[in-house]
Structure 1
Amino acid sequence: MNRTRNTALLGALSSLALALTGIGTAPSASASDNGQSLRPAMGWSSWSLVRRTPSEAAVEAQADAMAKSGLASHGFVYVNLDDFWQKCDDNGFVVDSYGRWAVDSAKFPSGIKALADHIHAKGLKFGFYVTPGIAKNAVTRNTPVEGTPYHAQDIADTSKSEKNYNCKNMYYLDYGKPGAQEFVDSWARQFASWGVDYLKIDGVGSDDVADVRAWDKALRATGRPINFALSNNLPIADATTWKELANSWRTQGDVECYCGPGPNGSGYPLTDWSHVSSRFDSAASWAPYAGPGGWNDLDSLEIGGGDQVGLTADQRRSVFTLWAMAASPLLLGTDLTQLDPVDRAMLTNDRLIGVDQDGAAGERIVNDGSRQVWRKREANGDYVVALFNTAASGSAAVGVTWQQVGFTGDGEVTDLWSGKHTGVVADSYSATLRPGETRLIRVRPVS
């Protein structure tokens, strides 16, 4: 990996971002001040591809491929292990002596710290996964809370079951009881000692605000910089709370279609156009809440495997364009060891990455059925404009006037996908787009 180039690129993007400004009025709630994710996270996550069978070898292979492919030098640095790293028995999660989930040693024989060390040795960052609550096995065994006189039965609310997608059998924590925060603190210290740089807490809803607050406090107390992500399909009614406490939040359910040939719908295809196109509306609704320190997460970016992911090349470019205009985290879900050359060219397009990393979420200014136009305004007076035909069939002419974009007169246009300088265009811009196609341009108003 060319670390010098990587550092230079990220520095350039940071400088660019500091020169940009949002176009809408942001909600009054402040963003998380934990110092993380001043720009959306970029990397890879295991869920789309590996699903329920992650392993030490599989995750290390993706980290190696991220570095070798050159993606890391364009800013893709997180390697995130999602669910199913844990060991289960008939009563739920197997736990350690302090009531925390035990690692499945058959999948990770060297342990999680060794996996993190391997990833860090590549110049990358390691992401991990948890859900709220406390395991039934911890309560049954009444395990002690590390460093305290309290035990699992002192802090568990056994009248309520927490959401969990793996071993189930999780109880709520009662944060009115002494020892509950200390239990989460203990878990966070363990993760920090393993080298976790990014933590996804899944199964979060309105009833879990206390858990999110506890984990935010616990992660800060470790002294380790940890990017804090929430999942999934979080209610927008609590958006200001998520923004205050976390660095990103999933705005919808899974982007995966679960329509592959393997167990639980695993394997290719990973997604389909309906699972992507539904995100246009939610991205528009959530746009005011995004900004440095906290981002609207549209879920995994299913680019890298070519057409087999379930999207055409036009649709994949539209996915990247929407994610970039929304300033969503760019967490790849595909097999980086088999990177499609067309997709590699997409993912290493620094003009697109720059749009994602510019520090602001765009807004939708045209919503005419399948014809959509989004914009961002930059502090130097430029605009970034995205035109979409979201239809599954049939070409469409999509247009926008410069007045709708935010200025009048002529505009000097550059196509950001191709890098081609179109020249000066008067009054408006339009393009005939194939189904699922996009056009992304930078416009400089001409005095």
Structure 2
Amino acid sequence: MNRLITAVVLLAALLVAPAKVAASDNGQSIRPAMGWSSWSFVRRWPTETKIKQQALALKNSGLPAHGFVYVNLDDFYQKCDANGFQVDGNGRWLVDPAKFPNGIKALADYVHGLGLKFGFYVTPGIAENAVTRNTPVAGTPYHAKDIADTSRTQKNYNCKHMYRLNYSSPGAQAFVDSWAAQYASWGVDYLKIDGVDATTIDDVKAWDKALRRTGRPINFALSNNLPIANASTWRQYANSWRTQGDVECYCGPGPNGSGYPLTDWKHVSGRFNSAASWQQWAGPGGWNDLDSLQLGNGDKVGLTADQRRTHFTLWAMAASPLLLGTDLTALNNTDMAMLTNDRIIAVDQDGVAAARIVNSGVKQVWRKKEANGDYVVALFNTGTSGNSTVSVDWSQVGFSGSADVTDLWSGKHVGTVTNSYSATLRPGETRLIRARPGSATNLALS
């Protein structure tokens, strides 16, 4: 990570604004995670070869020097039959050997050998096949039938046929422990647990406990569309949580809507409201996850260049994890200029989630105050037609008087601006500025 990002991160560590509730103390994700995830582009057809290609492309792109270090394998790596997931001798999912002939550990070793980190995927519960076979829980006298609640199924997006775990049985935590231990032994650095909702809080707690017991540092991410009513719980036990459904539009020409476009403006612009609602819950150790960042492949992802800059700007202002969903083997120059803009990355990594202070039709303004006293302000035209002039008074931002302003996308030093700032924006365009108050009075804003 370059000097600019490092300096901002160190300064942000001095922030004194308290979180609403204590964050997870597992030591992970002090700043939002950055990297790549397989779901958007690879979708339901991951293979060892494809993941290795993406990992190598990430390394060779130079993006790791800007903080993008995770390579996350999402769903559909498992082996299934008519009764759901095939399982090993202890009831844990089997990896499909046709897709991953050398196994997950070998893949993780490859990723680590590139100087990157490896992420993996699971959902709560226990497979029907484990219960049918009554597989033993590793290292315990318990078996699958002792710990499964066969009266209730568990949400799953692939093989289905999952039962809920009965946590009144001590064997249930032991089962999750054994699964987490397996992942740790494979070299997993990041675990996404999908299918989480208000009914799976016990699973979140169990996986948090299990990951800690492995002794391996593992970033713990929850997905998807989690209820905000349980935000304090997600923050206490996890390092990030998806605040909405998928950012993908599923409007491509391939099976299940795969292929380009990966997303559309509706799915991106719909994040503004959730980012505003969830803002108070983000902070060091736990972040509001707006889903994958669809930058890298130009217009064909389904967004114009202006919309992609706005996409990145909102994610950065919200301090969301930055997990690319695009094809890293086909990065284009326009998007690489965006992704390597360390001024924007520093906004994401400053440890502060911005608040929305103007929301009027297509006009929005967001602000955050950083540890050194600077304010970062984003102005948006979220419309799809027509220019719009977006304005904000410094008093709305949090200070009065004048400020020294820099445009963060262009790097242009604007100079001293007094009392207010405005920009005429194309449809879907953003303006992101850093305002350093001069001889001004800071106002008491949250």
> TM-score, length-normalised on structure 2?
0.97
Report how far residue 369 of structure 1 moved. Answer: 1.3
Looking at structure 1, the residues matched to 268 and 121 of structure 2 have their Cα atoms a distance apart, in angstroms, of 24
Looking at structure 1, the residues matched to 12 and 100 of structure 2 have their Cα atoms a distance apart, in angstroms, of 39
Residue 35 of structure 1 corresponds to 27
Asked if 1 retains the 8 angstrom alpha-carbon contact of 2:70 and 2:119, the reply is yes
Report how far residue 7 of structure 1 moved. Answer: 6.9
Is 1:169 the counterpart of 2:164? The answer is no
Amino acid at match of 2:95: V
Within-5 A mapping of 1:1-400: 6=1, 11-20=6-15, 22=17, 26-27=19-20, 29-400=21-392
Report how far residue 445 of structure 1 moved. Answer: 1.1
Report how far residue 20 of structure 1 moved. Answer: 4.3
Looking at structure 1, the residues matched to 11 and 336 of structure 2 have their Cα atoms a distance apart, in angstroms, of 23
Asked if 1 retains the 8 angstrom alpha-carbon contact of 2:85 and 2:94, the reply is yes
Corresponding residue to 2:410 among 409, 418, 422: 418
Looking at structure 1, the residues matched to 316 and 202 of structure 2 have their Cα atoms a distance apart, in angstroms, of 31
Looking at structure 2, the residues matched to 323 and 63 of structure 1 have their Cα atoms a distance apart, in angstroms, of 23
Report how far residue 77 of structure 1 moved. Answer: 0.2
Asked if 2 retains the 8 angstrom alpha-carbon contact of 1:9 and 1:75, the reply is no
Looking at structure 2, the residues matched to 7 and 115 of structure 1 have their Cα atoms a distance apart, in angstroms, of 28
Instruction: Provide Cα deviations, 1:379-423, integer angstroms capped at 9, x if missing partner.
Output: 322100000001111111000001111111111110000100001
Report how far residue 9 of structure 1 moved. Answer: 6.1
CA RMSD of superposed structures (Å) = 1.0
Q: Which consecutive residues of structure 2, in runs of 5 or more, have no partner in the other structure?
A: 440-446
Instruction: From the superposition, tell whether residues 278 and 241 of structure 1 become closer, same or farther in structure 2 (CA, over 3 Å).
Output: same
Asked if 2 retains the 8 angstrom alpha-carbon contact of 1:21 and 1:378, the reply is no
Asked if 2 retains the 8 angstrom alpha-carbon contact of 1:21 and 1:377, the reply is no
Looking at structure 1, the residues matched to 406 and 421 of structure 2 have their Cα atoms a distance apart, in angstroms, of 12
Q: Which moved more, 1:401-410 or 1:197-206?
A: 401-410
Looking at structure 2, the residues matched to 139 and 153 of structure 1 have their Cα atoms a distance apart, in angstroms, of 5
Amino acid at match of 1:199: L
Corresponding residue to 1:403 among 395, 398, 406: 395
Looking at structure 1, the residues matched to 3 and 215 of structure 2 have their Cα atoms a distance apart, in angstroms, of 27
Report how far residue 17 of structure 1 moved. Answer: 2.3
Is 1:442 the counterpart of 2:434? The answer is yes
Amino acid at match of 2:67: G
Instruction: Provide Cα deviations, 1:71-92, integer angstroms capped at 9, x if missing partner.
Output: 0110000000000010000000
Asked if 1 retains the 8 angstrom alpha-carbon contact of 2:319 and 2:351, the reply is yes
Asked if 1 retains the 8 angstrom alpha-carbon contact of 2:5 and 2:349, the reply is no
Instruction: Provide Cα deviations, 1:41-65, integer angstroms capped at 9, x if missing partner.
Output: 0000000000100000111111101
Amino acid at match of 1:86: Q
Asked if 2 retains the 8 angstrom alpha-carbon contact of 1:20 and 1:377, the reply is no
Q: Which consecutive residues of structure 1, in runs of 5 or more, have no partner in the other structure?
A: 1-5
Looking at structure 1, the residues matched to 11 and 438 of structure 2 have their Cα atoms a distance apart, in angstroms, of 21
SS in 2 for 1:38: coil
Instruction: Provide Cα deviations, 1:119-163, integer angstroms capped at 9, x if missing partner.
Output: 000110000000000000000000000000100000000000000
Report how far residue 26 of structure 1 moved. Answer: 3.3
SS in 1 for 2:399: coil
After the TM superposition, which segments of 4 or more aligned residues of structure 1 sit over 6 Å from their partners? none
Asked if 2 retains the 8 angstrom alpha-carbon contact of 1:21 and 1:360, the reply is no
Asked if 2 retains the 8 angstrom alpha-carbon contact of 1:21 and 1:359, the reply is no
Looking at structure 2, the residues matched to 354 and 7 of structure 1 have their Cα atoms a distance apart, in angstroms, of 10
Report how far residue 333 of structure 1 moved. Answer: 0.1
Report how far residue 224 of structure 1 moved. Answer: 0.1
Looking at structure 2, the residues matched to 38 and 60 of structure 1 have their Cα atoms a distance apart, in angstroms, of 27
Aligned residues: 439
Report how far residue 15 of structure 1 moved. Answer: 1.2
Looking at structure 2, the residues matched to 97 and 385 of structure 1 have their Cα atoms a distance apart, in angstroms, of 55
Amino acid at match of 1:307: D
Looking at structure 2, the residues matched to 88 and 39 of structure 1 have their Cα atoms a distance apart, in angstroms, of 36
Instruction: Provide Cα deviations, 1:363-385, integer angstroms capped at 9, x if missing partner.
Output: 00101111000001123221000
SS in 2 for 1:166: coil
Looking at structure 2, the residues matched to 366 and 374 of structure 1 have their Cα atoms a distance apart, in angstroms, of 7
SS in 2 for 1:179: helix
Q: Percentage identity across aligned positions?
A: 74
Report how far residue 16 of structure 1 moved. Answer: 3.1
Looking at structure 2, the residues matched to 257 and 367 of structure 1 have their Cα atoms a distance apart, in angstroms, of 25
Looking at structure 2, the residues matched to 402 and 21 of structure 1 have their Cα atoms a distance apart, in angstroms, of 22
Report how far residue 12 of structure 1 moved. Answer: 3.1
Q: Which moved more, 1:7-16 or 1:245-254?
A: 7-16
SS in 2 for 1:84: coil
Amino acid at match of 1:325: M
Residue 3 of structure 1 corresponds to none
